[in-house]
Structure 1
């Protein structure tokens, strides 16, 4: 792919030509797709996409697992690239800087949650990175990061430190902040006994953050395949939940559990492991047909269950800065865009080792 010139698109009124890979139907393959993005506004930056992570949410949303979608649809919300043009009023970025884009590209900016810097809970105008009606740009469909560029308001772009491991940083935009946020919100500290349910793209990030804080972490998964890696990353215990022997003695032992599971499971298995006042935070989002169910009366002992949604822009920046400073990155496999359909199948089958990241320079 030819690198875009910083002198391209001289007039901000011009729409931006873009190449990507899109789904044309919910059950089809991703295929090449050419489209245009909205013009560069005075507060916008144009990013040449370098890498984009492959999140299980891309698959759920693309396959209509949560709600009906409009096609063609370009997914991808773990985006990192280089700024190649800035709008007239941009102050946060300069041409040549690295920038990241996560799950949001706009919000109302005025509701109580936006003013509290938790734009992910915006009440009046949040626009997700793909598959959303962009009310700020004529109602066009937002298109994501499986593409060679992005146009985004600087407020919704994260500054990527120049010393970051750029091939690994993209998943911090979703998998990173999605796990960092609830762990920090729960106030996890040194010596706390906690659990992480599901040891995939999100789970292995959660383990690294929890270990960095000094927590004693038990990892739960359905297979033995990642046991050695979990222990090497600092887990004190690894439990194969399909082995009843390994589950013995765990009830009423943990103060916090983070569920990253993206498929059907029984949440009561983990609720029962919580101590009095223990908390189960849920970030994994299975397909609607597989949504986990709880019985309220089973939450005895002041146990709490809550759902966390990514993080606001301030917290996303904090996640990136903390991760780079402490050398916390996802384990990634870099792939060309031409292998994306095979990669999706591997994610669904649980065969990814831990996160696929697309090298967008492979897009022709």
Structure 2
């Protein structure tokens, strides 16, 4: 079912690698031709993710400018292709960091429901569709996305501003928690209490872990971590003996930070025999070197995880709805996106910025 296309695709564009410094400009752009498996979304909310800034400054490789970032999108379906099932015009929907994959039967990843690991992944922004047209994200009025990667949200009671940052930030930690057995009987550590890390604490608790430990450099976020559901807070800068004091106390660690100076060896000390360390943080520098014996001696496993599938996003929001999990957000009018980017880079968010498109949604007065 389709509605008349009486709208233009316009958003806040980065034009060069200085744009992350609050230099986005508003303008129109050409999206891929509409196909009958597509959904056009009137964007009401879009979270700001660290990936947006990495892309705007070409930190992970050269970005094809102009680029409209934003992959934590919630809005209303305004045009729905004839082959789309489960979504109709007027439904509230969401989109995460991926807008397409090959979806071929002979693709090992897609066939297994691992679309986010498809070698032909198309990101919600900064990628190219099969047509050769660039993908554009959610710092915008409208987004056009293949329906397989559009998540139905109409039956979820949580507000759109709470749901938006879960589309990427939430599922990025939810996926490795679930895939590595987080639940009753597990003791779980979350490294970093930022946008990703706060979701790690919230979802580890919602999944029923026996113990949830937040691990951060400074003690300043201790009260927040405990309010989110952490049982223990470890400040690595302020307790020189943290690694030995808490040695062999965790079954699973999900790390949302990275960098050449992170105390990687110390984190591994916290794991019990056959414990698992999963890296999800992906800044522009490298992880520190570690001794092979730190893995061999206790049979530890170190791995990584990338975003999550559409099914995982849907499973996550259902759990969040059932358990009352709410993102900790600061709301910004989309017209002030440049100011928000500057504040984001300064580390102001507690714990996720969400842009509100005032053309399509009301801007609340207070933080949720």
Native 8 Å contact 1:285 1:291 kept in 2: no
RMSD: 1.8
Distance 2:303 2:328 in 1: 27
Residue of structure 2 in register with 1:344 after alignment: 341
Distance 2:259 2:237 in 1: 15
Matched positions, count: 349
Residue of structure 2 in register with 1:360 after alignment: 357
For 1:17, what is the secondary structure of its paired residue?
coil
1:91-115 CA distances to partner (integer Å, 9 max, x unpaired)? 2211110111111111111201101
Pair 1:327 & 2:324 matched: yes
Per the TM alignment, residue 339 of structure 1 is displaced from its structure 2 partner at its CA by: 2.5
Task: Give the 3 Å change call, closer, same or farther, for CA 160–349 of structure 1 in structure 2.
Answer: same
Q: 1:274 aligns with which of 271, 275, 282?
A: 271
Native 8 Å contact 1:161 1:321 kept in 2: no
Gaps of 5+ in 1: 1-5, 11-15
Gaps of 5+ in 2: 361-368
Residue of structure 2 in register with 1:27 after alignment: 18
1:148-191 CA distances to partner (integer Å, 9 max, x unpaired)? 11111211100113423122111111111111111111112224
Residue of structure 2 in register with 1:140 after alignment: 133
Pair 1:160 & 2:153 matched: yes
- What TM-score, normalized to structure 2? 0.90
Residue of structure 2 in register with 1:252 after alignment: 248
Q: 2:49 aligns with which of 43, 51, 55?
A: 55
Per the TM alignment, residue 245 of structure 1 is displaced from its structure 2 partner at its CA by: 4.1
Distance 2:354 2:208 in 1: 29
Distance 2:203 2:188 in 1: 12
Per the TM alignment, residue 341 of structure 1 is displaced from its structure 2 partner at its CA by: 2.5
For 1:45, what is the secondary structure of its paired residue?
strand
Residue of structure 1 in register with 2:96 after alignment: 102
Distance 1:171 1:52 in 2: 7
Distance 2:204 2:45 in 1: 26
Q: 2:220 aligns with which of 225, 229, 236?
A: 225
Native 8 Å contact 2:45 2:356 kept in 1: yes
Task: Give the 3 Å change call, closer, same or farther, for CA 324–262 of structure 1 in structure 2.
Answer: farther
Q: What is the correspondence of 1:61-140 to structure 2 with a 5 Å cutoff?
A: 61-110=55-104, 111-123=107-119, 125-134=120-129, 136-137=130-131, 139-140=132-133
For 2:307, what is the secondary structure of its paired residue?
coil
Q: 1:236 aligns with which of 206, 228, 231?
A: 231
Q: 1:190 aligns with which of 184, 187, 200?
A: 184
1:298-341 CA distances to partner (integer Å, 9 max, x unpaired)? 31311111000111121121112221222112111110123223
Task: Give the 3 Å change call, closer, same or farther, for CA 70–334 of structure 1 in structure 2.
Answer: same
Distance 2:249 2:82 in 1: 56
In the TM superposition, structure 1's runs of 4+ consecutive aligned residues that sit over 6 Å from their partners are none
